[in-house]
Amino acid sequence: MAEIRLEGLSKAFGAHRVVRDVSLTVADGEFCVFVGPSGCGKSTLLRLIAGLETASAGRILIGGEDVTDREPYDRHLSMVFQSYALYPHMSVRDNIAFALRTARMPEREVARRVAEAARILRLEGLLERRPAQLSGGQRQRVAIGRAIVREPKAFLFDEPLSNLDAALRADTRVEIAALHRTLGATTIYVTHDQVEAMTLADRIVVLREGRMVQTGTPRDLYERPGDVFVAQFLGSPRMNLVPAAAEAEGVRLAGGARAFAAPWARGPLAQVGVRPEQCRIVAPDAGLVAGLVRASEYHGSALHVVVETAGGDRLSVLAPPDLSLREGEAVGVDFAPEAAHPFAADGTRLQGG
């Protein structure tokens, strides 16, 4: 296992700059998730680390060694691909053993390691099958088996769950987390799914347009997002953003009935973010802002209410499921001042928030 260090890494395809000046250290044994919307450069960044793309600028160090100009096969990493990329002409056993045989490992050792990987991933009964004879979840496990059998310096995952159906995805997510606890291996995991990012990561790196926007633990990022992009990217339903202004008596939301006191109530404040689960539906005149119910979706565990203010802003509220609301009903929305996230006009978080 090893630490992975990126220094000023950039990649351009022609004039198109896909990865811009990324510097990052993934500690030995850390589970690091690159997350961002499609086209943010997260997969390219992973492929740069893998050696499948060559960097335009910057350095990549694995375990302190500069591998920037090395071919993939000299970097000693394993990768699980989105399509799994299993060799269709080989049995499961040969798929898992391919890398070991490439390294000319003695056949007895190959057999031992394949058996071990098969045990961990519950593939024992499937070793003689071809990939085409496996279900999606089984293929996924073979792909992971192919990665762990080599005992690489780090694991790379490129959206490994996106080809699975929802139920299987949740199960496999739990398995990957368990696997990481067992192996303690340095892992870099790329996904566009914020749930995967939140549940798996020791550390999340949020990327946007090729740049690192923010990095930290899932809790850090969720509770103290550095800007509105991160704030809205993590969490579902996404964070409400309401225009607001600092006044003499505190913070007032656009169209708000009353102001509330906050330490960050000062000049540059332009909008306030608040997560739906921290909002409450109250009487029309009892909240921080009033509006009309535009939709209410029953989700079983909660009621997802959309309230439109007089100014046209929409707020999502996760309310108790037993609440009953009519469409068009006038309501108030309230939340604790501590739950509010202050943002400046350019979207960055205000100090003290």
Partner 1 sequence: MALRWAVFGLAALLLNFPVIATAVTAFKAPGEVTRNPSLWIEEPTLANFAAVLTASDRLNIYHHLGNSLVAALIGAVLPLVVAFPLAWAMVRRGVGRGVLFPVVVNLRALPLIIFAIPLYMMYAAAGLLDTRLGLGLVLAVVNLPLAVLLLVNAVGDIPAELEEAARMDGARLPRLLLRVVLPLCRPAFVTAFVFGFITAWNEFLFGLILTTREAVPVTVGASFFFATAGGGVQWGMAAAVMVVAALPPLVLGLVMYRRITGSVMAGAVKG
Name the site residues for partner 1 (rule: CB under 8 A): 50-52, 71-73, 77-79, 81-83, 85-89, 98-99, 102-103, 146, 150, 156
Give the Å distances, CA to CA, from 311 to 176, 253, 290, 300, 345.
46, 10, 10, 30, 18
Q: Which is nearer to partner 1, 94 or 329 (CB)?
A: 94
- Least Å distance, CB 163 to partner 1, is 12
Q: Which is nearer to partner 1, 157 or 229 (CB)?
A: 157
- Least Å distance, CB 344 to partner 1, is 42
DSSP symbols for 319-333: E-TT----TT-EEEE
- Least Å distance, CB 175 to partner 1, is 20
CB atoms within 10 A of CB 79: 23
- Least Å distance, CB 26 to partner 1, is 18
Element (H, E) at 218: helix 218-223
* Residue pair 317/281 in contact by the 8 Å Cβ criterion: yes
- Least Å distance, CB 242 to partner 1, is 44
- Least Å distance, CB 74 to partner 1, is 8
CA dihedral 31, 116, 158, 206 (to 10 degrees): -10
Residue with tokens 């409450």: 280
Q: What are phi and psi of 9, to 5 degrees?
A: -75, 130
- Least Å distance, CB 200 to partner 1, is 21
Burial (0-12, 13-18, 19+ Cβ within 10 Å), 285: exposed
Q: Which is nearer to partner 1, 20 or 113 (CB)?
A: 113
Written as six digits, the tokens of 329 are 């009903």
Q: Which is nearer to partner 1, 77 or 92 (CB)?
A: 77
- Least Å distance, CB 162 to partner 1, is 13
Q: Which is nearer to partner 1, 78 or 172 (CB)?
A: 78
Q: Which is nearer to partner 1, 97 or 270 (CB)?
A: 97
Q: Which is nearer to partner 1, 33 or 49 (CB)?
A: 49
* Residue pair 219/211 in contact by the 8 Å Cβ criterion: no
Q: Which is nearer to partner 1, 96 or 207 (CB)?
A: 96
Q: Could you tell me whether strands 187-191 and 31-35 are parallel, antiparallel, or unpaired per DSSP bridges?
A: parallel
Written as six digits, the tokens of 326 are 């009519």
Q: Which is nearer to partner 1, 156 or 221 (CB)?
A: 156
CB atoms within 10 A of CB 289: 25
Residue with tokens 């993939």: 72
Give the Å distances, CA to CA, from 350 to 32, 226, 228, 252, 275.
27, 9, 11, 16, 17
- Least Å distance, CB 182 to partner 1, is 22
